[in-house]
Amino acid sequence: MWEIILGIGIIFLILEMFTPALFFINFALSCFVCAILSVYIKNIPVLIITFALLSIALLYLIRPFFIKMRKENKEKTGMEAKYIGKIAKVIEKIDSENGVISIYDERWQARSDEVIEAGQNAEIIGYDSLIMKVKKHEN
């Protein structure tokens, strides 16, 4: 009996991989718990009720936590995590039309509302495609 329930749990995990809505993971976890319980409990209606109650509880308790974690991880990736808020060295004078900065041994085009001379530090406050938006950083 536990093999069948475990197989159903694996099917729910596969469904979650193809539809990353964090919906089927709750059913998969419920199946795994019920598979363990089925070793000791042979009453099928009790296992079905346990599965249903556990699925509903996980849906309302764990799913919001998983969604929050996924959103936080998305916010910490890409340009925002690597560059925004970091200090870069100004290589060529920056103004509203021209300028170059260096950060992590990379050269980037940069623009600013204020003039920042070469040799000074600039804080990266945003980006537009491949052009960094910076402001003067006071040491």
CATH at 99: 2.40.50.140
Query: Structure pTM?
Result: 0.49
Is the pLDDT at 132 greater than 60? The verdict is yes
Average pLDDT over residues 45-54: 92
Long-range own/partner contacts, residues 79-82 (CB < 8 A, 24 or more apart): 79/127
Is residue 113 predicted with pLDDT exceeding 60? yes
Report angle CA 81, 83, 87 to the nearest 5 degrees. Answer: 130
Is residue 6 located within the same domain as residue 53?
yes
Distance CA 97, CA 104 (A): 23
Residues 46 and 101 in one domain: no
Residue 35 reports pLDDT greater than 60: yes
Closest CA to 134 of 95, 104, 106: 95
Domain span including residue 64: 2-75
Average pLDDT for residues 30-38, to the nearest whole number? Answer: 92
